[in-house]
Amino acid sequence: MSALSIKNCTKSYGDVQILKDINLHVKKGEFLTLLGPSGCGKSTLLKIIAGLDTQTSGEIIIKGKEVTNIEPSNRNISMVFQSYALYPHMSVYENIATPLKTRKLDAIQKMPFIGKYLKKSKQILKSIDKDVKEVADKLNIIHLLDRKPGELSGGQKQRVAIGRAMVRNPHLFLMDEPLSNLDASLRVQMRAEIAALHRELNETFVYVTHDQEEAMTMSDKVAVMMDGVILQFDTPHNIYTNPNHIKVAQFIGSPNINTLSAQSYEEGEVYLCGKNIDFKLQGYELSELSLGIRPESFKVVEEKSSKSISASIKHIENLGSHYLLYVNVGHEQNICIVKVNDINAHKIDDIIHLEVKTKKMLVFDAITGQRIYGDKNVKK
DSSP per-residue codes, 277-295: EEEE-SS--SEEEEEEE-G
Q: Identify which of 165, 221, 190, 236 has the alpha carbon closest to the alpha carbon of residue 33.
A: 221
pLDDT for 196: 87
d(CA 50, CA 142): 29
- pTM, 2 dp: 0.86
> Other CB atoms closer than 10 Å to residue 262's CB: what's the count?
24
Partner residues linked to 288 by β-bridges: 263
Low-confidence ranges of the chain (pLDDT < 70): 1, 106-119, 283-286, 331-332, 374-380
**pLDDT of the residue at 110:** 63
CB 342 within 8 A of CB 299: no
How far is the C-alpha of 352 from the C-alpha of 252, rounded, in Å?
27
What was the pLDDT predicted at 119?
63
Can you give the pLDDT at residue 332?
Answer: 66
Cβ proximity of 122 and 116 under 8 Å: yes
pLDDT of residue 299: 92
pLDDT of the residue at 155: 83
Orientation angle between helical segments 92-104 and 119-138, nearest 10 degrees: 130
pLDDT digits (tens, 9 = 90+) for 339-353: 999 888 789 999 999
User: What pLDDT score does 256 carry?
Assistant: 93
Structural domains of the chain, ranges and CATH numbers in brackets? 4-241 (3.40.50.300), 256-372 (2.40.50.140)
